[in-house]
Structure 1
Amino acid sequence: MKDKAKQKESGRRLFLATAGAALCLARPARANDKLDAGGLTFLDFATPDNGASFARADATIAGGPNPVSSKILSIENAKGYARIGFEQSRITMAIPLGWQATEDWERGIGYSSDKRYRLIVWRVDFEFEGVKDAEHYASSKGGAIQSRRPKVKAQARKLGDGSYLVVFENVPKGQGDAEPRVVFDLVMAQPGNPKLGVLVTLGVPASDAGRGIKLLALLKENMKVDW
C-alpha cells in the first residue's frame, strides 16, 4: 500500500476543500450504543506466530517520510495479539498477531499480512482541520467525501461514550484489492479538550464489513491514548 493510497483511504484532510458539506448524525446516542465485537476475539483475526511478523519489513509499505517499525510492548499469544506502541502519536494498541505495524511522524499504521485489512491512527487538531469539534469533524468529513464521490455512501452516528463512528460504503478498490472497500472512521475527542482528538481508520473488503466492525470494537476496547 503506497503512502498516497493510505492518505486516500483515511481521507483525513479531504473535507477541507468542501467544508460546507455535512452529514446529519443518524440519531442521538444512547448509553448502551457502542461498538460490539459480537463474541469475536483477536484470535479470530490472528495468525499465531509468536509476534514474528512484527519484526519483518515490507518494502511495499512506504509508511510516509522516515517510516520506522513500531515498538512491540508485549506479545499475548494466548489472546492473539501484540501490544504495539505508536510512539510518535503516543497511542498504544492491541493488533492481531500475523500483522505488521509501522509509523511516521504523524500516524501509526497496521495491516494484515495480505493487506486486506488496513489500519491508520492519527492525532487530530480539529481547529487546524477547519472544524470546531469531533462531531463537526465526523459529519463534515462524511459529507465532503460523499459530495466528491457520489457512489460512496457515508453515515455518521454518535456512540454512547461520546465518540463518533463514520461508515463509508462502496469505496473504490485500490491497487491490489480484489473488491470495493468499506472504511470505518472512529473519531474521539480528548477528555476536557474538545479541540483535540484521535482518528482511527480501519479499511476492509466490502465482503468482510461485518467482521471489520467487530475488529474495530476490539481495537477500540484495547486502545490507550496518552493524552
Structure 2
Amino acid sequence: MLLLGTAALALVPAAARAQGVLDAGGMTFRDFAVADRGSSFNKIDPMIGSGAVPTQARILSIDNDGGFARIRFDAIRIEVAMPLGWQANEDWERGVGFSSDKRFRLIVWRVDFAYEGVNDAEHYAATKTGAIKARKPGIQAQARKLSDGSFLIVYQNVPAAPGDAETRVVFDLVVPRPGKPKEGALMTLGVAARDSDHGLKLMALLKSKLKVDW
C-alpha cells in the first residue's frame, strides 16, 4: 500500500487516516453552494481548453435542500453531484465542473490503465506520483489506498495557473472498475492552497455520490 507522507497526511482527517475512508467532517454540499436553484448550470464558460469545444453537461436533478445538482457527463457515462452555483461542461473525453470564482475545479475522466502502461489502479497511483515529482520537484505527491479499493493522491505546492492568486492543492481519486482492474475512473479536484482542508472534505462529498456506468 502507498502511504501519504507527513506533509500530505496532515491534510487528511483523523478518521480517514485510521480507517482508510474520506470523511466530510460534518460538512455538506450546502457549505459550498450558492442558493440559486441550479440556474448556474445553464451557463457555458469554456474551462476545458486545449481546442476542445465544450457543451453543457446534462442536469439530472436539482436538490435545493441538499445544496447540489446531479450532473451526467454523457460522453464518459459518469454522474456526479456538484454544489449549486457551479457550472458543468463536457467534451468527448472528460467532464469539467467549477465554482463561480474558479477556486474549486473538478475534472472527471475514464482511465484505461493498460493504455497508460500500468497494471491497475495502485500501479497508476504510484507511477503518476513518481512522474509528477520527477517532472516538477517542487510538488509533493503522495497516495494512499482507501478501504473500498480506490486511491487518494494528494499533490501539494502545485503552481498557480493563469488567473490563480496562489499555489494549489490537487486531489486525485482513482476508482478501479469492479472485476476489471484494467479499467477505472479518475476524479480530480483542484483547490486554492488556503482551501485544502475544505477541498478534502468536498472530495469526500463528491466521492459519496459518484456513479460510474461501467
TM-score, scaled to structure 1: 0.86
Q: Secondary structure at the residue paired with 1:213?
A: helix
Q: Which residue does 1:167 correspond to in 2?
A: 154
Q: In the alignment, is residue 192 of structure 1 matched against residue 169 of structure 2? A: no
Paired residue for 1:131, among 110, 118, 123? 118
Would the aligned equivalents of 1:116 and 1:204 in 2 still touch at CA under 8 Å?
yes
The match for 1:116 is 103
Over the matched positions of the two proteins, sequence identity in percent amounts to 62
Code of the aligned partner of 2:32: F
State the partner residue of 2:213: 226
Do the aligned partners of 1:63 and 1:102 also contact (CA within 8 Å) in 2?
no
Shift of 1:33: 1.3
Q: Which residue of 2 aligns with 1:205?
A: 192
Query: By how many angstroms is 1:205 displaced?
Result: 0.5
Deviations 1:33-59 (A, max 9, x none): 100000000000000101000001225
Mapped to 1, the partners of 2:195 and 2:65 lie a distance apart of 24
Tell me the distance in 1 between the aligned counterparts of 2:32 and 2:73: 21
Match of 1:146 among 133, 151, 171: 133
- Taking the aligned partners of 1:30 and 1:176, their CA distance within structure 2 comes to 33
Cα offset, 1:132, TM superposition? 0.6
Gapped regions of structure 2 (runs ≥ 5): 5-15
Does residue 215 (structure 1) correspond to residue 202 (structure 2)? The answer is: yes
- Of the three residues 40, 45, 53, the one matched with 2:40 is 53
Runs of 4+ that moved beyond 6 A: none
Partners of 2:182 and 2:129 in 1: CA distance: 19
1:3 corresponds to: none
Q: Is the 8 A contact 2:25 2:201 kept in 1?
A: yes
1:21 maps to which residue?
Answer: none
**Cα pair distance change 1:117/1:63, threshold 3 Å:** farther
Runs (5+) with no aligned partner, structure 1: 1-23
**1:26 partnered with 2:13:** no
CA distance in 1, matches of 2:71, 2:50: 16
Identify the residue that residue 8 of structure 2 maps to in structure 1.
Answer: none
Secondary structure at the residue paired with 2:130? helix
Amino acid at match of 1:160: S
Q: Report what 1:91 is aligned to.
A: 78
Tell me the TM-score normalized by structure 2: 0.91
Residues 63, 103 of structure 1: 8 Å contact kept: no
Q: Is the 8 A contact 1:30 1:159 kept in 2?
A: no
Q: CA RMSD in A?
A: 1.7
